Amino acid sequence: MKTLAKEFGVLVVNNTGGTWSISPGSIQGEGWEQTIPGGELFVNRTYFDLAGLSIDFKTLFFEGAALQETLPPAATPSTVGNLAILVDVMSNKPLTNDEALIITQQGNTEGGSNLTFDQTIYMRHRVFNIDIDNAAGGYMIPISDNQLGSLEPTASDRVYCTRIVFFVGADGLYNLYPVRYLLRANAKEEAEYEYLMRLKRSYELQNEPDRD
């Protein structure tokens, strides 16, 4: 059994008159991308390299996945109605920017993005906001928290990690704090036919053309 970890750093976003931009305060959060200039959607990507675990033609079975965080999203000034949709995904296929936007609204449900339940090893979809009761503190409180993953095994040598945030709110600074993705995996042998079919599917997913 192996426990793997990947981290995403700080994201600080500025909203001025409805135009959003990544603030210089995000220098710790390398890899953040604003998908549309001036838009509210921000994406960061990395992946777990599982080549060392998937040797000897073994399938990776996942025992668990989790997030470790320090603080919820925050906004300055703390304006009632400020909101963040935050989605953390571990999947056996990479996600395009278009899929990232769809996932904030529809998750991995049928008719949503091209990411299926089986392809979703882990997904946590949350909505945070500032209301009258917590406005003085500046931190957003969770109003929705859903898990949409399957922990399905894979023959792929990569698990793709995607952090997605969609902001809504008044002018000001919005902070998204660091997170650590954890994944526990174990390599086991499968019947030859099952393994070859799983390997074929994993290869197809990894080599899908980008649709950004």
DSSP for 76-137, please give it: ES--TT-EEEEEEEEESS---HHHHHHHHHHTTSTTS-S--TTTEEEEEEEEEE--TTTTTT
Buried b (16+ CB within 10 A) or exposed e, 53-73: bbeeeebbbbeebeeeeeebb
Predicted local confidence at residue 143, as pLDDT: 96
Domain contains 108: yes
- pLDDT-derived band at 155 (thresholds 50, 70, 90) equals confident
Residue 211 resides in a domain: no
Q: What is the pLDDT of residue 193?
A: 43
In this model, does residue 198 exceed pLDDT 60? Answer: no
In a domain, 212, yes or no: no
pLDDT tens readout for residues 29-63:
689 999 999 999 999 999 998 877 656 657 888 99
Number of domains in the chain: 1
Query: Residue 154 in 3-state DSSP?
Result: strand
Q: Which domain holds residue 13?
A: 2-206
Distance CA 121, CA 123 (A): 7
In a domain, 24, yes or no: yes
Has residue 61 been placed in a domain?
A: yes
Decide if 137 is inside a domain. Answer: yes
User: pLDDT at position 194, please?
Assistant: 53
Asked whether 153 and 200 are in contact (CB, 8 A), the reply is no
Of residues 6 and 2, the one with the higher pLDDT is 6
Q: If you search the block for the tokens 């304006």, which residue do you land on? A: 79
Nearest C-alpha neighbor of 205 from the set 153, 132, 151, 156: 156
Contact call for residues 135 and 170 (beta carbons, < 8 A): no
Helix (H, G, I), strand (E, B) or coil at 30: coil
Say what the pLDDT of residue 70 is: 92
Classify residue 83: in a domain, yes or no.
yes
6 in any annotated domain: yes
pTM of the model: 0.86
